[in-house]
Structure 1
């Protein structure tokens, strides 16, 4: 079965939008003698955390970012490491691998990470800004606020595809695939998010609400039949249930819907689901490396790091960067 036309072209979005903007950031850092550094703190031997740390290391190498990997084995040690890197002038961003195994809520550690170093945007101050629909920390809209990278990655795939389709329409007078409207317009769309974690489901729901979408959030206490009802009436379906037992039957997937399968185990029926969707980011092992949703997540993590580094740049450089980003968005087709 040929389902390539159903896949999001994430590699294209990264190449068109991220790479030129990241290159511009790095040029400004060299001009100001800044070497970005990201510190990753492993809290367990969890295979997923180790794999994610490896991915972060590789993308840091790609963009000439110093990467520091540290390990802890206790609550006290993690507290000390966070405080150390909070005060380390060479460190621009800190990412802690959650969940931690230390019998205390992870939000305790999330709030220990300084907002000046919080590359994941999980500190309660950033969460508050997200609730209030704030994008910038200054009146000139030059210094961007940080939001969780996994949720941000999904939103960016949708919003950048929206830009691509709008730019295509301006040139050709029609949308791609002879569509009468932009399928990636979020306003008024019905969206179901099956996950309520702070880093994914809750953050993503807030982001979608901020885009004027109609959002339903499901979690482990939501009745399975109710979840399927929500799925069956949704334009966009996002599932991140970390269990191979949770599967959404294809019969509930609306025709021409948009699907994101974030779970490592996969939450949909393959290959049947491809017949129903308009676009999909499927289970990771069904897509080539470089075109997975995780690749977009990693690039959003780096963009968050750059937001933090940019707070040290002169305002003239930030204005130059802002104008550059606007031109890239206008040119993206």
Structure 2
């Protein structure tokens, strides 16, 4: 009778949550402790606490709440934090103002945000700048991202850092920070020097990476997805990962970072699926140059010889159904900002690791009945990565000043 009871439909339908529920606070804790200790040592040596400015474009409650939460997180580790707003708190916003602020035609708001960014760029007391996006979305936000001084860009959104990320340039010279892509000497060293343990070469420092993609990487390292027995830069070799989101701020950079570390990555977006893979040196052949101009072929060869080409390749995915991609993946990462979007638990491979970086939950409630581990949010890790980027930028500034 006991056997029959255990196999009733009701019992079969009851989800067994065997997978581990990961906590962002636990993963972030060692980074926060390290940041706090570094700032304590700075103060003991008579150096000032780093100062971060967060720029708020409009009075939307989620943005204000996130800015206030960031401020508390900074205060807890000893970072000075200020919120710069475009509006006067003493003036009550009129009905419909927020909708107008989101309009692509609101050139006045764009100018106000630009003025605040430029003021923070000039302010020698400001060490780091972050802007609460999205404001308009699309090209206007991209423009604002590019006018933030790369020497103060804690979010790693400036094109200089994007180029480094996509080309797997891990080490930079502090004096060259913000230079035009492919024109500085660190490119050759960073792609030619075999550094298996990730040790920074003498005279160099680590490039800044975008915070949320980096937070996901740290979560995967913490959960054991990265194989530390493999060489540095190949520790995801043999892993298949699906990222459901291909935004320029998180999804695409994350796919590139994971591919650069050796994973096969399926990048799923609203209208297409593409595959990211690490570029294998010398794998190109003449067939890829058919129909291209002589100048393009020559540039291709010159850049390949200098190892300045993108570290990964993007191509059409052999699967155009998200279910096929997800069912083959050791890791599934959700980032769709829509409450209605859910990845069916039945699609998930047994014992896969699932991570959600969207503000909405992209996984069904019973995801841990199949996943070996599930992380529902990465916000606290993201803030720790932002704080770490701030400390690195302060360090780089001090190195430049000591060499002047």
TM (normalized to structure 1)? Answer: 0.79
Q: Which residue is equivalent to 1:108?
A: 143
Q: Deviations over 1:72-108 (max 9, x none)?
A: 2611111111111001111111001111138852110
Structure 2 counterpart of 1:29: 42
Instruction: Give the equivalent residue in structure 1 for 2:241.
Output: 191
Counting matched residue pairs gives 289
Deviation at 1:133, TM superposition (A): 0.6
Corresponding residue to 2:394 among 309, 315, 325: 309
| Separation in structure 1 between the aligned mates of residue 18 and residue 380 of structure 2, nearest angstrom | 18
- The answer to whether the Cα contact below 8 Å between 1:44 and 1:101 also exists between their aligned partners in 2 is no
Q: In the alignment, which residue of structure 1 is the partner of 2:259? A: 209
Using the TM superposition, give the Cα deviation of residue 221 of structure 1 relative to its aligned residue in structure 2, in angstroms. 1.0
- Higher helix share goes to which structure? 1
Contact 2:130 2:154 in 1 (8 A): yes
Residue of structure 2 aligned with 1:88, choices 107, 112, 123: 123
Alignment RMSD: 2.7
Could you tell me which runs of 5 or more consecutive residues in structure 2 were left unpaired when the two chains were aligned: 1-14, 88-108, 174-200, 230-234, 274-318
Query: Against the structure 1 CA distance between its residues 149 and 4, is the aligned structure 2 distance closer, same or farther, given a 3 Å change threshold?
Result: farther
- Give the alignment of 1:280-319 within 5 angstroms: 280-282=374-376, 292-313=377-398
Residue 112 (structure 2) aligns with? 77
Give the whole-Å Cα distance in 2 for the aligned partners of 1:120 and 1:14: 17
Report the equivalent of 2:369: 275
> What is the CA–CA distance in structure 2 between the aligned matches of 1:195 and 1:107, rounded to whole Å?
18
Rg larger in structure: 2
1:63 aligns to 2:63 (yes or no): no
Identify if the C-alpha distance between structure 1 residues 257 and 161 changes in structure 2 by more than 3 Å, giving closer, same or farther. Answer: closer
Gaps of 5+ in 1: 168-184, 283-291, 318-333
User: Aligned to 2:321, what secondary structure does the other structure show?
Assistant: helix
Would you say the 8 A contact 2:246–2:252 is kept in 1? yes
CA distance in 1, matches of 2:16, 2:385: 30
Aligned-residue offset at 1:314 = 5.2
With normalisation by structure 2, the TM-score equals: 0.66
Ranges of 4+ aligned residues in structure 1 off by more than 4 Å: 1-5, 163-167
Q: Which residue of 1 aligns with 2:95?
A: none
SS at match of 2:242: strand
Alpha-carbon distance in structure 1 between the residues aligned to 2:205 and 2:57: 31
Match of 2:345 among 242, 250, 255: 250
**Structure 2 counterparts to residues 157-196 of structure 1, below 5 A:** 157-162=219-224, 186-196=236-246
- Structure 2 residue 209 is the aligned partner of structure 1 residue 124: no
Match of 2:53, SS?
Answer: strand
Deviations 1:154-212 (A, max 9, x none): 10111234399969xxxxxxxxxxxxxxxxx5222111111111221011011101111
